[in-house]
Amino acid sequence: MLEQGKHISVWNDCLKIFESNVDPKQFDIWFKTISPVSLEESTLTVEVPTDFFRNYLEDTYLPLLKSTLRRVLGPEARLVYRIHPVRKDSAMEFSAAHGNVPENRPVSINTFQPSCNPGPFVFPGIQKLKINPRLNPAYCFENLVKGECNKMGFNAGINISDKPGKTPFNPLFIFGGPGLGKTHLAQAIGIAVHESYPDMVVLYVTGNEFKTQYINAVNVQNKLADFMAFYMRYVLIVDDIQELIGPASQNAFFNIFNHLHQSGKQLVFTSDRSPADLVNFEERLLSRFKWGLSVELMRPDYETRLNMLKARCLREGVNVPEDVLEYISNKVRSNFRELEGSLISLIANATLCQEPITIGLAEKVIGNIIGEEQKEITIDMVQEVVCDYFNITRENLLSKSRKRGIVQARQIAMYLSRNLIDGCSLSTIGLEIGGKDHATVLHACSTVSDLMSTDKTFKQYVSDIERILVPEEH
């Protein structure tokens, strides 16, 4: 039963306790800005400005929050947060210390001789066990922004989620540089499979964890058999599989791979390099990595970067001015991780310092993250690099020649100009590259994108030129 008006007096009682236990400045920042919304029995709902605010509050003050609420409302006290609504969307509500983490249903594990010192993979006899899938609920498809950089992987992931182990994409091998969303995509597949097929057991593990567990297993009697029995039953996701170094652990993984693949179980791997570029791997294992589909995740273009920031703002429940989002998208180009980190740092600075979110604040925050300002890319610079790469003259590039090599170089120059130069219109690109109209530029960009999905050599051309224009950060 809703108790009208009582929520305010209850929260005021809580504030008195908070004020006597927290530094005055911290109290003003983290507690005075919270608004009580309702009280239903022992559940108090409060409104906070952003999801970041809620996370920080719980990380820092959870013991104080719990003890205070129990003191004021009793042992059954419960706190629910409501993020201040953004735009016209309804408010988002979260239970304290929430998290709808995917859980596998119990499965039977048939192991061998019992061990007197049971380890993580020792399950005497036949026993029903709940296996933690180790999936982060935030890494779902709903939170993954689709763009040209990840379109092929995204679409493959959706197909796999609908029919795990029943598509030609088994295994799915996702590769690319740091911060491009490999882990997010792999876990999104696992979460979607788990939602569609709750009886399927999903397990996420890193290559290094698998190797460490194997090494530990060989040192205990009968534990290796338990280890093998443990892994031979899942939809298996292995992140950073390039870390699975060592002939013994690779041999174990080879047998697990064969068993799962022959049993129709889905396999998903991520790596910082393609299967062809993996070193110190057995050839028989490399050949199996190539059985299904290998997908490279590329750097996000301007449009995808901007869409990602807008989506994250909605999730955080914070309204960031459009010009600030455009500024961040323009300055942080390398990967999603740095882009997301820049936005979260900006929100944190604005929240902690109680400042409005402006371009001035964004300049200061981003300067601390990406360091020296990146060199501005121009159409002229793109043309110069493309001509040097293909060993053609600027005159040939800008001419009306229909020779295949010249046409492809011209199309690549248009594609990279559109993706790397922010705020540059199609008409401007066409005017600067041979006086073409915007429709020609749009067609060129579409052609390059399609060729990159089907022609490995052509894709390498584009990647090489992009790395020259935007060097990798280490």
Tens-place pLDDT, residues 340-349: 888 988 888 8
What residues form DSSP beta bridges with 267?
A: 236
Query: Residue 422: pLDDT band by 50, 70, 90 thresholds?
Result: low
DSSP state of 308: H
Give the C-alpha separation, 210 to 221, whole Å.
18
In this predicted structure, the answer to whether residue 314 has a pLDDT above a threshold of 70 is yes
Q: Summarize the confidence of residues 399-415 as an average pLDDT.
A: 92
| pTM for the full predicted model | 0.63
Give the C-alpha separation, 239 to 172, whole Å.
12
In this predicted structure, the answer to whether residue 221 has a pLDDT above a threshold of 70 is no
Query: Residue 280: pLDDT band by 50, 70, 90 thresholds?
Result: confident
Query: Residue 462: pLDDT band by 50, 70, 90 thresholds?
Result: very high
Query: Residue 42: pLDDT band by 50, 70, 90 thresholds?
Result: confident
Q: Summarize the confidence of residues 227-232 as an average pLDDT.
A: 77
What residues form DSSP beta bridges with 239?
A: 206
Q: Could you give the residue ranges of the DSSP H alpha helices within 74-181?
A: 151-162
Q: Supply φ then ψ for residue 301, to 5 degrees.
A: -80, 175
Give the C-alpha separation, 18 to 247, whole Å.
57
Q: Say if CB 335 and CB 324 are below 8 A apart.
A: no
> Which range has the worst mean pLDDT, 21-25, 54-58, 107-111?
107-111
What percent of the chain has a predicted confidence (pLDDT) above 90? 30
Quote the longest CA-to-CA distance of the chain: 81
pLDDT in tens, 65-114: 999 999 999 888 888 888 764 443 444 444 444 345 566 555 444 444 44
> Which range has the worst mean pLDDT, 48-57, 279-288, 429-438?
48-57
Q: Say if CB 50 and CB 351 are below 8 A apart.
A: yes
What percent of the chain has a predicted confidence (pLDDT) above 70? 86
Give the C-alpha separation, 411 to 432, whole Å.
13
Q: Are strands 78-83 and 43-48 parallel, antiparallel or unpaired?
A: parallel
Give the C-alpha separation, 66 to 108, whole Å.
38
pLDDT in tens, 127-165: 455 677 888 888 999 989 998 889 999 999 999 999 999
Q: How far is CA 136 from CA 145, 188, 203, 310, in A?
A: 17, 9, 12, 21
Q: At what angle do helices 223-231 and 207-218 cross, to 10 degrees?
A: 150
The whole-number pLDDT of residue 393 equals 92
Average pLDDT, the chain: 82
Single-letter amino acid code for the residue at 125 = G
> Which range has the worst mean pLDDT, 2-6, 186-190, 214-218, 269-273?
2-6
Q: Which two tokens stand for residue 170?
A: 């088994």
The whole-number pLDDT of residue 174 equals 94
The whole-number pLDDT of residue 18 equals 92
Give the C-alpha separation, 237 to 258, whole Å.
15
> How many CA atoms within 13 Å lie on the side-chain side of 233?
18
pLDDT in tens, 360-391: 888 888 876 665 545 678 898 999 999 999 99
Q: Say if CB 236 and CB 265 are below 8 A apart.
A: yes
DSSP state of 270: E
Q: Could you give the residue ranges of the DSSP H alpha helices within 74-97?
A: none
Q: Summarize the confidence of residues 439-449 as an average pLDDT.
A: 89
